[in-house]
Amino acid sequence: MFESAERMNALPFSGIRVMMEKATRMQKEGTDVIHMEIGRPDFDTPQVIKQAAFDALARGNVFYTSNYGTPELRQAIADKLLRDNGVAYRPEEILVTIGVGEGTYAAMAAFLNPGDEVLVPDPVWLNYIHVPHFFEAVPVSYKLREENDYQIDLNEIESLITEKTRMLVINTPGNPTGTVQSRETLEGLAEIAKRHDLIVVSDEIYEKLVYGDAKHVSIASLPGMKERTITLNGFSKCYSMTGWRLGYAAAPVEFISAMVRVHQYINTCASSFVQEAGVTALEKAEPDVQEMVKEYERRRDYAVAAFNAMDGVSCRTPGGAFYIFVNVKSFGRSSAEIADWLLEEAGIATVPGSAFGPQGEGYIRISYACSYERIVEGMERMKAALAKLRA
Ligand SMILES: Cc1ncc(COP(=O)(O)O)c(C=O)c1O
């Protein structure tokens, strides 16, 4: 038997995966499971994007590309960042990655030394907690509190900074709360980052999924911030392309030239025909994205109202992404117990908030990336199951 490396001892499977496996097992055994645990869109990838990939394959676009990504895609990303985010990048300042997952790894591998501290949200997309450990760096959590509408608390950030703090990770719109950080919050963070000379990693993968009055602001667009920000983004969520594995990092050339060295020894490059389809996504798929956004907003509005009408349950109205973080503290049970109950009693798969960090205890995350009809049914079933739990 071969023992895995010691670092693996601190590397658990994610709580989301555990829940998905349990839900899938029950489904195979005949339970009608409503999947509200999954962080992936239920829509097919827009046809215009799929056609671009078919055409690229038919034309024989099947070979390695530059490690950095194709010139066409890097240009299209630079154009997009100017158009949508108000930040002027040259193509040399773009690295095409295998999703934001790889972008996260490359950013941390390239810039974290042993003992460096990284400020990360709690609750959080777990990569930001686990990836620093590969480099013997230390994630230090800052809390996103419901009573503060999950906005980042600037005083808390200040109080957590030490001489070892090197990086600040932000995620807006955020997983798992769906919160869009306000311009004011981001301006405050920008001042702190400049004062303490921090690198900011800004995960903007949900940027186009914003609703109502919520506006997405890229922190790199604020004065003096492009110089110290690694913006991570990708195609998974907004274009419904999770399985295509395509993303990018945008940052000054010194950042990109370090990150590409990590990337070249892991992935060489993103798939050639997928990159070609990525250009089409950026240039032609905006109407498809806006259709999806409209439908997500309709589902969000329904689900938020339904939760707030349930006994002992409440939630904020998230401005973005496709998650609702639901407060179930009144039941006096752990969030894992509530999630288990909902699955076993009502066939509703959710994720316990504790899977995203200690601050998530007392909440469950539901994803409304499933059909409106299933959401309506899910809310009915959840209401009945929770009423039973209280009885
Ligand atoms: C905040 C956040 N960043 C990144 C990702 C993964 O992105 P990708 O599919 O581009 O690796 C997810 C997926 O759930 C996420 O929630």
What pLDDT, on the 0 to 100 scale, is given for residue 13?
81
Residue pair 298/291 in contact (Cβ under 8 Å)? The answer is no
Binding site membership of 99 for ligand 1 (Cβ less than 6 Å):
yes
What pLDDT, on the 0 to 100 scale, is given for residue 18?
82
CA distance 291 to 164: 45
What pLDDT, on the 0 to 100 scale, is given for residue 1?
83
In this prediction, residue 307 has a pLDDT band, given cuts at 50, 70 and 90, of: very high
CA of 205 from ligand 1 middle (Å) equals: 6
Binding site membership of 171 for ligand 1 (Cβ less than 6 Å):
yes
Q: Which atom of ligand 1 is nearest to the CA of 176?
A: 16
CA of 51 from ligand 1 middle (Å) equals: 24
CA of 98 from ligand 1 middle (Å) equals: 11
* pLDDT, mean of residues 228-250: 98
Is residue 162 in a domain? yes
Q: What is the pTM of this model?
A: 0.97
* pLDDT, mean of residues 78-92: 98
Clarify whether residues 207 and 246 are in a common domain.
yes
Tokens found for residue 366: 């539901």
**What percent of the chain has a predicted confidence (pLDDT) above 90?**
94
| Eight-class DSSP state of 179 | P
Clarify whether residues 278 and 351 are in a common domain.
no
Whether the upstream peptide bond of residue 121 has omega within 30° of 0, thus cis, is: no
Last residue of a domain, one of 224, 258, 284: 284
HEC-encoded secondary structure of 2-47: CCCCHHHHHCCCCHHHHHHHHHHHHHHCCCCCEECCCCCCCCCCCH
What pLDDT, on the 0 to 100 scale, is given for residue 9?
84
Clarify whether residues 26 and 112 are in a common domain.
no
Residue 68 burial (10 A CB sphere; 0-12, 13-18, 19+): buried
Residue pair 102/267 in contact (Cβ under 8 Å)? The answer is yes
Which CATH number is 98's domain given? Answer: 3.40.640.10
Pocket-testing residue among 20, 102, 125, ligand 1, by greatest number of atoms within 8 A of Cβ:
125
Last residue of a domain, one of 267, 284, 301: 284
* pLDDT, mean of residues 6-35: 88
What DSSP element (H or E) covers 373?
Answer: helix 372-390
| Eight-class DSSP state of 310 | S
Is residue 110 in a domain? yes
Q: Which atom of ligand 1 is nearest to the CA of 235?
A: 10
* pLDDT, mean of residues 88-116: 98
CA distance 168 to 162: 12
Number of folded domains that form the chain:
2
Binding site membership of 357 for ligand 1 (Cβ less than 6 Å):
no
Clarify whether residues 268 and 297 are in a common domain.
no
In this prediction, residue 133 has a pLDDT band, given cuts at 50, 70 and 90, of: very high
Clarify whether residues 24 and 54 are in a common domain.
no
Is residue 15 in a domain? yes
* pLDDT, mean of residues 238-250: 98
Is residue 246 in a domain? yes
Binding site membership of 242 for ligand 1 (Cβ less than 6 Å):
yes
In this prediction, residue 7 has a pLDDT band, given cuts at 50, 70 and 90, of: confident
Binding site membership of 100 for ligand 1 (Cβ less than 6 Å):
yes
Residue pair 283/48 in contact (Cβ under 8 Å)? The answer is no
CA of 331 from ligand 1 middle (Å) equals: 31
CA of 176 from ligand 1 middle (Å) equals: 11
Is residue 1 in a domain? no
Tokens found for residue 83: 């158009």
What pLDDT, on the 0 to 100 scale, is given for residue 382?
97
Clarify whether residues 241 and 366 are in a common domain.
no
Binding site membership of 204 for ligand 1 (Cβ less than 6 Å):
no
Clarify whether residues 186 and 315 are in a common domain.
no
Closest by Cα among 281, 366, 294 to 325: 366
* pLDDT, mean of residues 85-112: 98
Clarify whether residues 54 and 40 are in a common domain.
no
CA of 101 from ligand 1 middle (Å) equals: 6
* pLDDT, mean of residues 247-254: 98
Clarify whether residues 17 and 162 are in a common domain.
no
Clarify whether residues 234 and 346 are in a common domain.
no
Binding site membership of 106 for ligand 1 (Cβ less than 6 Å):
no
What pLDDT, on the 0 to 100 scale, is given for residue 17?
81
Beta pairing class for 117-122 and 351-352: unpaired
Pocket-testing residue among 127, 201, 209, 236, ligand 1, by greatest number of atoms within 8 A of Cβ:
236
Last residue of a domain, one of 249, 264, 284: 284
Measured by CA distance, the residue closest to atom 16 of ligand 1 is: 175
Residue 312 pLDDT greater than 90, yes or no = yes
Q: Which domain holds residue 30?
A: 6-45+287-390
Pocket-testing residue among 169, 180, 208, 237, ligand 1, by greatest number of atoms within 8 A of Cβ:
237
Residue 287 pLDDT greater than 80, yes or no = yes
In this prediction, residue 232 has a pLDDT band, given cuts at 50, 70 and 90, of: very high
What pLDDT, on the 0 to 100 scale, is given for residue 211?
98
Q: Give CA separation, 85 vs 156, 264, 276, in Å.
A: 27, 28, 22
CA of 237 from ligand 1 middle (Å) equals: 8
CA of 188 from ligand 1 middle (Å) equals: 25
Which CATH number is 14's domain given? Answer: 3.90.1150.10
CA of 83 from ligand 1 middle (Å) equals: 23
Is residue 117 in a domain? yes
In this prediction, residue 309 has a pLDDT band, given cuts at 50, 70 and 90, of: very high
CA distance 352 to 335: 5
pLDDT tens per residue, range 189-227: 999 999 999 999 999 999 999 999 999 999 999 999 999
Clarify whether residues 23 and 51 are in a common domain.
no
pLDDT tens per residue, range 350-387: 999 999 999 999 999 999 999 999 999 999 999 999 99
Is residue 68 in a domain? yes
Clarify whether residues 223 and 316 are in a common domain.
no
Binding site membership of 109 for ligand 1 (Cβ less than 6 Å):
no
* pLDDT, mean of residues 233-245: 98
Mean pLDDT of the chain: 96
Binding site membership of 14 for ligand 1 (Cβ less than 6 Å):
no
